Structure 1
Amino acid sequence: MALYDLPLPELERYLPDLDEPADLDDFWSRTLAEARRHDVVVDARPHDTGLRLIDTTDLTFAGFDGHPVKAWVTRPAGSQGQDLPAVVEYIGYGGGRGFAHERLAWASAGFVHVVMDSRGQGSTWGNGAHTPDEGGSGPAAPGVMTRGIEDPHRYYYRRLMTDAVRAVDAVRALPGVDAQRVAVTGGSQGGALTLAAAGLSDGLVGVMPDVPFLCHIRRAVDITDGFPYGELVQYLAVHRTAEAQVFGTLAYFDAVHLARRATAPALFSVALRDDICPPSTVFAAYNHYAGLAGQRPETDIAVYPFNKHEGGQGYQLDRQLRWLRSRVA
Structure 2
Amino acid sequence: MTSAADKFWQQTEAALAELSPDVSLRRDDFYSQPDWDVYQMRYTSVDGYWLFAWLSVPHGGGPFPAVIRMPDYGSVHDIVYTPLRERAVVMNPTFRGQRQSDQGFQAQFPGLLTQGIEDLDSYVMRRVFADALRGMDALLQQDQAQIGAIALIGAGLGGALALAVAARRIPVHAVAANTPMALGNPASLKPGLAYPLAELDDYLRLYPTRREAVAKNTAD
TM-score, normalised to structure 2, is 0.88
- Quote the Cα distance in structure 1 between the aligned partners of 2:3 and 2:105: 25
* Secondary structure in structure 1 of the residue aligned to 2:217: helix
Q: Aligned residue pairs: how many?
A: 218
Q: 2:85 aligns with which of 95, 107, 113?
A: 107
Gaps of 5+ in 1: 1-19, 122-128, 253-329
Q: 2:24 aligns with which of 43, 66, 71?
A: 43
- Partner in structure 2 of residue 148 of structure 1: 116
Deviation per residue, 1:125-154 (Å, 9 max, x gap)? xxxx211174699xx994211011012222
- Quote the Cα distance in structure 2 between the aligned partners of 1:141 and 1:59: 24
- Quote the Cα distance in structure 1 between the aligned partners of 2:184 and 2:14: 27
* Structure 1 pair 141–209 and aligned structure 2 pair: CA distance change class (3 A): closer
Question: Given the alignment of the two structures, is residue 31 of structure 1 paired with residue 1 of structure 2, yes or no?
Answer: no
Paired amino acid for 2:196: P
CA contact 2:37–2:57 (8 Å) conserved in 1: yes
Gaps of 5+ in 2: none
* The structure with more radius of gyration: 1
- Partner in structure 1 of residue 100 of structure 2: 130
* Structure 1 pair 240–216 and aligned structure 2 pair: CA distance change class (3 A): closer
Q: 2:73 aligns with which of 69, 93, 99?
A: 93
CA contact 1:89–1:114 (8 Å) conserved in 2: yes
Runs of 4+ in structure 1 displaced over 6 angstroms? none
Deviation per residue, 1:168-199 (Å, 9 max, x gap)? 11111123232x52221111111011111122
- Quote the Cα distance in structure 1 between the aligned partners of 2:84 and 2:97: 26
* Secondary structure in structure 2 of the residue aligned to 1:246: helix
* Secondary structure in structure 2 of the residue aligned to 1:41: coil
- Partner in structure 2 of residue 303 of structure 1: none
- Partner in structure 2 of residue 67 of structure 1: 49
Q: How do 1:249-260 and structure 2 match up within 5 A?
A: 249-252=217-220
- Quote the Cα distance in structure 1 between the aligned partners of 2:103 and 2:123: 11
Identity %: 27
Paired amino acid for 1:64: V
- Quote the Cα distance in structure 2 between the aligned partners of 1:97 and 1:198: 20
RMSD: 2.4
CA contact 2:64–2:89 (8 Å) conserved in 1: yes
Q: How do 1:78-89 and structure 2 match up within 5 A?
A: 78-79=59-60, 81-89=61-69
Question: Given the alignment of the two structures, is residue 231 of structure 1 paired with residue 212 of structure 2, yes or no?
Answer: no
Paired amino acid for 1:22: S
Deviation per residue, 1:54-94 (Å, 9 max, x gap)? 21011001122221100000022x22x32212111112211
Of structures 1 and 2, the one with the larger relative CO (CA 8 A, separation 6+) is 2
CA contact 1:21–1:251 (8 Å) conserved in 2: no
* Structure 1 pair 136–152 and aligned structure 2 pair: CA distance change class (3 A): farther
CA contact 1:72–1:97 (8 Å) conserved in 2: no
- Quote the Cα distance in structure 2 between the aligned partners of 1:164 and 1:34: 13
